Amino acid sequence: MDNWKTGNLVANGDFNKGTVGAMPEGWELIAPNTALAPIFRLVKDGQKSMLMAMGNGRQECFGYVRHRANFDPEKTYLMRVRLKFEDIDDLNRHTLNGVFGGFNDGIFEYRKDGEWIIGESRFPSPENPGNCEVRLYFRFSANGKIWWDEVSIQECEPVAPRPVKIAVSWGTEDMAYWSNWLDIAGEKNADIALLPEMFNGKGVKDAEPLVDGETGKMLAEKASKYGMYVSASYYEQDGDVVYNSAPLFDRKGKLVGKYSKNQLYDPEEDQGATPGIGLPVFDTDFGKVGIIICYDSWFPEPTRLLAYKGA
């Protein structure tokens, strides 16, 4: 969709209406703390009008402009902004471009297009969108500047669904049980089957190679037989080091990669296990996934970092 204007819910989204030096027509400045209000104003670059925001000399600078937008229920919309900036080191920290009100959504990814930065996102509206407004934030920059050239929200084709069937499990059983469990998951056409931590019942002293041991071979065989992804946690012998690892096997039984538990529970270290390093993400045919294991979930950082990496 190259045309930013047709059906745009944001009237004056190109900032062509208004007086230079003042707010663009239809836009309102909101600053919860007036002492920290950034400077917003309409500027001209040749024949082109833009909305400029700049810091007020204080790092705590915070405020936004808003414009009313009316959404139809249960439609899909494409929101786009075109902007450029200077003295800004983290765009997602220093600006936020989104919809607020009856529902919230917005733009979180940007790409470079010549001298401009394009941010865009597709999202559905709920059954009752309510009263909504578009907001363009400028925040936490003493001297930075942002110029918005265009803001557009247009109805678009719905986002194609990506249904994923997940088989999950819990408990402590023997390998025969888990082999049968994977058969059941495969027969029910699971896209991915997830088994518990240390599901094979073997401790640190009984660790085995990740792929070539009894456990890895069984997981790979089931993944290949049923055309599903499979992941589980067990102790991996890697040279003279033992990790609590979770391999991910693809639909052909090939190893996609592994994650080794970063946050070991204290007794695991006492028994001789070594913590892993890094939080990888893995591409699958239904999306990008990350893995955490048990005690990892007690800490916010692993999940946050995986999300930053696109999981």
Per-residue pLDDT at 1: 54
Q: What is the pLDDT of residue 171?
A: 87
> Would you give the distance in Å from CA 2 to the centre of its chain?
25
Residue 67 CA to residue 150 CA, distance in Å, equals 13
pLDDT at site 73: 95
Entry pTM: 0.71
> What CA–CA distance (Å, rounded) separates 39 from 91?
17
Q: What share of the chain is helix, strand, coil (3-state, %, to 5)?
A: 20, 40, 45
The upper half-sphere exposure of residue 84, i.e. CA atoms within 13 Å in the direction of its Cβ, equals 7
Instruction: Return the pLDDT at 45.
Output: 86
Tens-digit pLDDT profile for residues 12-43: 999 999 999 999 999 999 999 999 999 999 99
* Mean pLDDT per 10-residue interval, the chain, length 311 residues: 87 95 96 97 91 97 97 96 95 96 93 95 94 97 97 93 93 94 98 97 96 97 98 97 98 98 95 97 96 96 93 94
Residue 126 to residues 1, 78, 134, 278: CA-CA distances in angstroms?
Answer: 23, 15, 16, 38
Q: Of 3.30.413.10, 1.20.1250.20, 2.60.120.260, 2.40.50.140, which CATH number belongs to 28-155?
A: 2.60.120.260
**Domain at 166-308, CATH from 3.90.550.10, 3.40.109.10, 3.90.660.20, 3.60.110.10:** 3.60.110.10
Q: H or E stretch including 39?
A: strand 39-45
| Interstrand relation of 145-155 and 166-168 (parallel, antiparallel or unpaired) | unpaired
Distances, alpha carbon 214 to alpha carbons 207, 210, 222, 234, 287, in Å: 11, 9, 13, 11, 29
Distance CA 139, CA 116 (A): 20
Gyration radius (Cα) of the chain, Å: 26
Q: What pLDDT, on the 0 to 100 scale, is given for residue 46?
A: 83
What are the extents of the domains in the chain? 28-155, 166-308
Fold matches, 28-155 and 166-308: no
d(CA 83, CA 220): 48
C-alpha to C-alpha distance for 9 and 151, rounded to whole angstroms = 10
First to last CA, the chain: 27
106's enclosing H/E stretch is strand 105-107
pLDDT (tens digit, 9 = 90+) per residue, 255-271?
A: 999 999 999 999 999 99
Q: What single-letter DSSP state applies at residue 195?
A: P
Catalytic annotation, residues: 197, 261, 294
